[in-house]
Amino acid sequence: MNAKREKVTRFILSNVGKIIPEDKSNVELLKAKFAAMSDAEFEAYIKKLKRARTPEEIAQREVIPFYLPNLSKFKVSIARNYEIVRSMGRSLAHRLVMTDPATGLEYVTLHEYPVYDLAARRQAQTVSKKRSIPEHYQRIDDLTDQPTSESKGSRISSPEGVALLSRRLDNTMLEFAKIRGGDTAAYREFKRLLVETGEVSMDQLTGLGIAKSTKTASVFFNCMHIGNNLDPSTPVPADARKTA
């Protein structure tokens, strides 16, 4: 092993060992991995650790792995990781270049924010397993006015709702959560407009009603003597506005 390779290896193993000082398993795994490489393979591996900028570099980029089994007695300390990065003269926090959605102008944030490389996983949804065709539309839940039992069809999950909002599909989420989610007045008008005109927008349904689940939550709070404004038709008691 030449001196340069030995120095790089020692630097990597030393810093990996600092992540969990009590656990040397990752250091031993990396040591065995490096020992099996020739000098040419090791040099190619190190070059692929650099920051990737092009799609080709991203596809070929290598990372230094770190394994921590589930339910392990060892824990990773975020504070210690920051100390390790600072000891290398680096920082995990940076000022970001943002684009104003209204004007399109770019600006630099006043404060620094942590920036990490994280694994991204696309949410896989198998339509054939989620598909549910209701037998009829005759049964609704008393508390939510949403279809139930044999009338219940496919549903939207919380992660799916977050994904919709992240894509700025606010009206789509509004339709699922409110119009189709128990607001009988808005849903009745929704269906009427579709039948008569073939189209409908959320602007045409604004202010027609509120979801039954919201009214139910308001009743629950009132029964617990907790004043609330969830249901506009039920004013907040005057004594609930008093402060101690």
pLDDT digits (tens, 9 = 90+) for 33-75: 999 999 999 999 999 998 888 888 888 888 899 999 888 889 9
164, 172 contact by CB (below 8 A):
yes
Give the Cα separation of 141 and 159 in Å (integer).
23
Give the Cα separation of 134 and 147 in Å (integer).
9
CA–centroid distance for 134 within its chain: 31
For residue 167, is it within any domain?
no
Q: How many CB atoms lie under 10 A from the CB of residue 172?
A: 15
Residue 46 is given by DSSP the state H
For residue 133, is it within any domain?
no
For residue 118, is it within any domain?
no
CA torsion 5-9-12-17 (nearest 10°) is -170
Helices (H), 23-110: 25-35, 39-47, 55-60, 78-87
How confident is the model over 151-164, as a mean pLDDT?
Answer: 78
Q: With bands split at pLDDT 50, 70 and 90, how would you rate the model's confidence at 180?
A: confident
How confident is the model over 140-158, as a mean pLDDT?
Answer: 72
How confident is the model over 189-208, as a mean pLDDT?
Answer: 82
Q: How many domains does the chain have?
A: 1
| Tokens of residue 73, six digits | 């007695």
pLDDT of the residue at 37: 93
Tell me the residue range of the domain where 9 lies: 3-89
Share of the chain above pLDDT 70, in %: 86
Partners of 95 in beta bridges: 112
181, 211 contact by CB (below 8 A):
yes
How confident is the model over 151-162, as a mean pLDDT?
Answer: 77
Whose CA is closest to 56, among 46, 45, 48, 64?
Answer: 48
How confident is the model over 110-118, as a mean pLDDT?
Answer: 87
Give the Cα separation of 79 and 66 in Å (integer).
17
Residue count of the chain: 244
For residue 198, is it within any domain?
no
For residue 200, is it within any domain?
no
For residue 30, is it within any domain?
yes
One-letter identity of residue 170:
D
Give the Cα separation of 82 and 84 in Å (integer).
5
pLDDT at 1 over 70: no
